[in-house]
Structure 1
Amino acid sequence: MATPKDSLSQTLTRFYLLAGRIVGKSIHCGVQGAVFIEASVSCIMADILKQPNNEVLRKLLPCSLLCSNPAEESPQVVVQANIFSCGGIAISLCLLHKLMDGATFTSFLTSWASTSKGSLDSSSNMICYDYKAFSSLFPQTNLLPFHQNLAKPTDRKHCLRRFVFRSKSLLNLKAKAKSRAVPNPSCVEALTGFIWKHAMMAADCQGSSTLSHVVNLRGRMKPALPEVSVGNIRWGAVAHSSAMERLELRALVGLLRQSFEEINKDYIERTLIGSDKGFEAVLKFVGEMNKWGMSNYYFCTSWRNMKLNEVDFGWGRPVWIAIAGDTNEMMANVIVLLDGVMGDGIEAWILLYEKEMEILQQNPQFLDFFP
């Protein structure tokens, strides 16, 4: 069995684009590679697992979310192996999002773990990485620096909290979310609609609101792209709620279902694929975000069914997967859904403004879904 550091180097030979540095519109693949750090933690892992806290978890990260280094000096992958006094190990990663989405991250992590325990062989699909999306489907263009305006600095403090929705609670939510338009809501649809509703209530949202949910485009294309295709091959399914709909769970779930169904083969070919189409669609999307205003805008991404709980470096499956970071470096109104521990339910990590999080945590209708 290879060490995590050695297996990381081997994995980067297959994900060679992730080992380079992004300079302008090009990736310079030199010998820089990734950054690997080992750290000793003077406590036992059980102390952290008993009551997970973002302020503690962020100390296990190898770097800050905001990097002051020039882009050409910034690695795309920074890893820290945290070794606890009990012998437990927590692997933390900071990844540059310019070239990686959730599917790329999962492929990379799975390949790295398989290499570490010596189970990646020449017949594995995990060595067949597909880079054609860069040159053919999404060619280069002269992008404007629109991204600099998305998360404007604010004096309002942010708060990140973890909420665990057990299987029984999810079944109850799905039952409440059913309607003629959506007779079979998924767990993600029901839970996203539920959190969206109560986040709007906490923010005292009087008018309309917008929620964008990340959609993996690979399987929606015709022909479908392999899941191991590297890149940010994703889009946002956008749902707008009016003042009348914002407190009705069935209506919100209906809006979410409609937004998901709109991201189909025809939409992708008509709107996204091609040098001019994709560029124009991104600019339009960002322009609409600025028009709607970030105060009533929510962003959701689901990491469910990515099999992160099955990633095994040779020490057995992880007991827990989590996110962490400096909350004031993050955009507010973010929802991240992960598979619960041992496959029981869903963990929702919610980032709101501090005052709105206090209101959410005191809402009895929200708390009813926790055992």
Structure 2
Amino acid sequence: MADIEIKSRKMLKPSASTSDNLRILKLSLFDQLAPRSYVPILFNYLPSSTSSYDKLEKSLAETLTKFYPFAGRFGKDDPFSIDCNDEGVEYVQTKVNADDLPEFLRRQANDIESSLLHLLPVMVHMPSSPLLGVQVNVFNNGEIAIGIKVSHIIADAFTIATFVNEWAHTCLITGTISTQDTTNNNFFPSFGQLSSLFPARVLQLPSPPNTSTTDPEIVTRRFVFDALTIENLRKTIKDDSTTDDDMIKQPSRVVVVMSLIWKVLTHISSAKNGNSRNSSLGFAISFRGKLSCVPSLEHALGNYVTIAIANLEASDHSRKDDQLNDFVKLVGNTIRDTCVAIGKASSVDDISSLTVNNWKNGVEKLFQGDTMNTYITTSWCKLPWYEADFGWGKPFWVTRVGFNAIEGVFLMDTKDGNGIQVTVCLKEKKMTEFEKHLDILSSTPIVG
């Protein structure tokens, strides 16, 4: 790309070798069910006189000694393991011929998502590929965009956020105190706990249907629900005096926004098909802090989530006066029931069965795409994305990038922590209708 010049590319290894007793990391059941793809995320920083790009590389090498699986490769003889062999991670440094990110995006074609993808390392998810890639992009005015790709098989959102903040902490103090104290000695990543309790296993699992190459191109748009917009949405939700559940009476920001988007998508489908269809909304729920049958795993790294699915029968939304609280109730009840089931689990086998059954249910819904609508949402809210300070301040914008292989909706906190940035991926015609319905949005930004 003409506007981006690659200054260096290397395979960056941990600053210290991984000990033999940590050489093989077994994958957990949750890792086994994770998508075979990279999770792409972009951190954007304003220019600063304290910016030191050399410290990024050094501190990353030091951080990899704690996150040693990230520098390994998939096991050659065991598909359910990682060989923590210190082969390294993809590390790229570039010079961007633009003053800042907005100018860079304006110079490109109308497809902003493709432009953002150029700020991420180019990686193909194969058994021999690195599990982590980092691209440090420096703009003419000193602005920095750090693009990261992590294999989903070894990391969920909690794990990625933990890694990035540990790397930032290490970078922040590198060179300010003695070398032996340059990492956070109070932080000890916990790999292997989940696989010891929930080992991967041979499962008869259905494969999700392939996306047809003749389908219209999926496009991505970003929207922002600020705190006022969300509060106004809450006011439209009728008080349900038949329940004492606060999740229904006082729904969270995430539940409100997810429910609104589901409502809009079902109405678009009804208009297109001329009749209502059964509809499902799938989303992930973390196990962290919810299990009583196993030791504390709040800080365990790796994938540690299950799928929850809210279902809406066609007969229940055939009326023209569907209210937002109808969808809020369905989402809230699904979250409550799933959390209750998790809390009542008396053994790891109960949790494993719950996870596999929910996953199978989700895939079966996808197979019914011709007769019903299934929507996928993911929330990264309440994670410390905006705390990652490498020494030149906290990021002004953090976003998921390249979420356009399938139709789906992705939620993250805005920088102030009170609003929600929504990344929506839909087929082009459906996106046109979606944008018409969302006239209640406070803004539709390019960045921020």
TM-score by length of 2: 0.73
Give deviations 1:41-80, integer Å, cap 9, x for gaps.
Answer: 111225258879323211211125xx2x631x11111110
Q: 1:171 to 1:225 in 2, by over 3 A?
A: same
Q: Compare 264-273 and 300-309 and name the one that shifted more.
A: 264-273
2:234 maps to which of 170, 174, 178: 174
Q: Residue 261 in 1 paired to residue 336 in 2?
A: yes
CA 101–305 in structure 1, closer or farther in 2 if over 3 Å, else same? same
Alignment match, 1:183: 249
- Residue 354 of structure 1: aligned partner: 428
| Alignment match of 2:196 (pick from 135, 156, 159) | 135
1:33 aligns with 88
**8 Å CA contact retained: 1:37, 1:81:** yes
1:229–1:356 CA distance, 2 compared to 1 (3 A): same
Cα distance between partner residues in 2 of 1:121 and 1:270: 38
Question: Amino acid of the residue matched to residue 228 of structure 2?
Answer: K
Residues 209 and 296 in structure 1, CA contact (< 8 A), matched pair in contact too: yes
Structure-1 residue corresponding to 2:415: 341
Partner in structure 2 of residue 273 of structure 1: 348
In the TM superposition, residue 271 of structure 1 has moved relative to its aligned partner by 9.7
Residue aligning to 2:277: 207
Q: 1:19 aligns with which of 71, 80, 83?
A: 71
Kept in 2: contact 1:220–1:265 (CA 8 A): no
Q: State the partner residue of 2:118.
A: 59
**Does residue 294 of structure 2 align to residue 219 of structure 1?**
no
Indicate whether 1:369 and 2:433 are aligned: no
Matches of 1:147 and 1:22, distance apart in 2 = 21
User: CA contact under 8 A between 2:191 and 2:302: conserved in structure 1?
Assistant: no
- Post-superposition Cα deviations, 1:196-236, rounded to whole Å, max 9, x if no partner, equal 11122233362111001111111111257444311110011
Aligned to 2:381: 304
Q: What CA deviation, in whole Å up to 9, does each residue of 1:70-113 have, x standing for no partner?
A: 31x11111110011111111000111111111111111111111
Which of 383, 392, 401 is 1:315 aligned to? Answer: 392
How far apart are 1:238 and its partner, in Å?
0.9
Q: Which has the larger radius of gyration?
A: 2
Give the corresponding residue for 1:241: 312
| CA spacing shift, 1:121–1:18, aligned 2, 3 Å | closer
User: Which string of whole-angstrom CA distances, capped at 9 and with x for unpartnered residues, describes residues 127-171 of structure 1?
Assistant: 2425311111x1121145744536554522101100011111010
**Separation in 1, partners of 2:211, 2:295:** 33
Q: CA separation of 1:276/1:346 partners in 2, compared to 1, >3 Å: closer, same or farther?
A: closer
Say which SS state the counterpart of residue 127 (structure 1) adopts: coil
SS across alignment from 2:261 = helix
Question: Do the aligned residues in 1 keep the contact of 2:208 with 2:366 (CA within 8 Å)?
Answer: no
CA distance in 1, matches of 2:365, 2:348: 21
Matches within 5 A, 1:118-133: 118=173, 123-124=185-186, 126-133=187-194
Secondary structure of the 2:400 match is coil
Which is richer in helix? 1
Quickly say closer, same or farther: Cα 1:147–1:92, change in 2 above 3 A.
farther
2:326 is aligned with 1:251: yes
TM-score w.r.t. structure 1 length? 0.87
1:6 is aligned to 58
> Is residue 307–residue 362 contact of structure 2 (8 Å, CA) maintained in 1?
no
- The answer (yes or no) to whether the contact 1:271–1:281 under 8 Å persists in 2 is no
Letter of the 2:66 counterpart? R
Q: Any conservation in 2 of the 1:271–1:278 contact (CA below 8 Å)?
A: no
State the 1:28 CA deviation: 0.8
Which of residues 277, 288, 292 in structure 1 aligns to 2:364?
A: 288
Deviation for aligned residue 1:27: 0.8
Segment of structure 1 superposing worse, 219-228 or 250-259:
219-228
Change (3 A) 1:177 1:237: farther
Q: What is the number of residues matched between the two proteins?
A: 360
Unmatched segments (≥5 aa) in structure 2: 1-51, 175-181, 444-448
Distance in 2 separating the partners of 1:280 and 1:326 = 24
1:239/1:370 CA distance change after superposition, 3 Å: same
Q: Is the 8 A contact 1:42 1:84 kept in 2?
A: yes
Q: Distance in 2 between matches of 1:147 and 1:109?
A: 32
- SS of 2:173's equivalent? coil
Which 5+ residue runs of structure 1 have no aligned equivalent? none
Q: Deviations over 1:18-57 (max 9, x none)?
A: 2211231111111212111011111122525887932321
CA RMSD across the alignment: 2.8
Q: Which residue of 1 aligns with 2:126?
A: 70
**Cα pair 2:237 2:323 within 8 Å, conserved:** no
SS in 2 for 1:3: helix
C-alpha separation between the residues in 2 aligned to 1:322 and 1:229? 24
C-alpha separation in 2, matches of 1:129 and 1:276: 20
